Amino acid sequence: MTAAIPLVWSDAHRRHAPTAEIWLGVRTPAVELPVRADAIRAALEAAGHPVVAATAHDDAALEAVHDPALLAFLAGAYADWTAAGLPDDPGQPEVVPYFFPNPALLGTIAPAVPAATWARTGFFAFDTMTPIGPGTWAAARGGADTALTACDLVAGGAPAAYACCRPPGHHVTRAAYGGACYLNNAAIAAAALRDRLGDPVAIVDVDAHHGNGAQSIFYADGGVRTGSVHVDPAQGWFPHFLGFAGEAGEGDGTGANRNLLLAPGSGDGPWVAAVEELARWASGARALVVALGVDAAAGDPESPLQVTQDGYRAAGRALGALGLPTVVVQEGGYDPGTIGGLVAATLAGLADGISNGGHG
């Protein structure tokens, strides 16, 4: 029996409390809220997981996967926005984009960062639903520290650690943010584990949405295998432009990306089978990062998948049975009433899989 998987935590998550998501130009209620992490922590503490405070880590760990220009933008965007008076005129309290450098606008001309504060956001953001408020950067930076602290535990010999990252991260590429995400915690963790434990590292993303960020960051890099199971973007689901089966990597990364697509309405049978396939594919890596979105669950307001708590437990078991040093990073999951139990079940399955190994 392994010791209970530690929960790594940063209080800074609460400083990101968006007032709205701009959806089709309309202010709609934000769903990526502080209550999410608080609900998960409560469930995991009740299940006996020890809490470990995140420690500060150097920016170099972020620069391993992100463009310094994106990091500088995120760190300063809210101060720039308020200095430009935009909360008063036109009355937008949070940093949002309005104009995007569509490749078909620019052709072969490289985009430059716009001079106007109100136009700059569109250089870095790829959707309108990922607002930057007064505490967003502190929260996102704390989330990265949370993932990196979990890496420290695992590199130090813990079989697994769970990073309760909020805001989530798996949609963020090297230089662009969106999808309620600001820093790609799973990619940051994979790079840190690669430094400490060697190549290759695997990322298995079980969030209901495609893990486009890690796919993009490591697309030409065979040192990090990236796999994602998600609802088929061709059937109308975010991130719409990416996540298709033919996206397999390029150059040194050819064959190192896997996308497994599920139809809306899919439940435990096909979803657990897909996770098992990604687990088999990850076997032989030196370390594993699980991008744990629990929004594939039935009842989640952001996805049409119908996975149960038992399905998440089975996914955890399959991933734990690999016996790899494992960092689990929180991604999506938007029903505060059920996400704690879903994460607890996944970690229980993971611990079970680790204990039983290949003998279960």
The residue number whose beta carbon is nearest to Zn ion equals 332
| Binding residue (CB under 6 A) for ligand SP5 from 207, 221, 247, 352 | 207
Q: Which of 245, 255, 181 is nearest to 218 (CA)?
A: 255
16 lines the binding site for ligand SP5 (CB under 6 A): no
8 Å CB contact between 224 and 216: no
Question: Could you tell me which residues come within 8 angstroms of residue 60 by beta carbon, excluding any fewer than 6 positions away?
Answer: none
Q: Which of 197, 158, 201, 194 is nearest to 290 (CA)?
A: 201
Query: What are the Cα distances from residue 31, in Å, to 131, 233, 343, 348?
Result: 12, 21, 18, 26
Which of the residues 141 through 180 are near ligand SP5 (CB under 6 A)?
168, 170-171, 179-180
What does 313 interact with, of Zn ion, ligand SP5, none (CB < 5 to 8 A by kind)?
Answer: none
User: Looking at 171, 209, 210, 230, which residue is catalytic?
Assistant: 171
> 224 pairs with which residues across the strands?
201
We find the least distance from the C-beta atom of residue 77 to ligand SP5, in angstroms, to be: 19
**Residues 184-213: x where in contact with Zn ion by CB under 5 A, - otherwise, as a string:** -----------------------xxx----
We find the least distance from the C-beta atom of residue 340 to Zn ion, in angstroms, to be: 17
126 lines the binding site for ligand SP5 (CB under 6 A): no
> 29 pairs with which residues across the strands?
none
Whichever of 128 and 326 has its CB closer to ligand SP5, that residue is 128
DSSP letter string, 211-237:
-HHHHHHTTT-TTEEEEEEEE-GGGT-
8 Å CB contact between 318 and 275: yes
Three-class DSSP category at 201: strand
**Cα–Cα dist 34/253, whole Å:** 36
293 lines the binding site for Zn ion (CB under 5 A): yes
| 171 labelled catalytic | yes
We find the least distance from the C-beta atom of residue 179 to Zn ion, in angstroms, to be: 7
Interface residue list for ligand SP5 (CB under 6 A)? 21, 23, 28, 129, 168, 170-171, 179-181, 207, 209, 238, 293, 295, 302, 331-332
Active site positions, annotated: 171
Interface residue list for Zn ion (CB under 5 A)? 207-209, 293, 295, 332
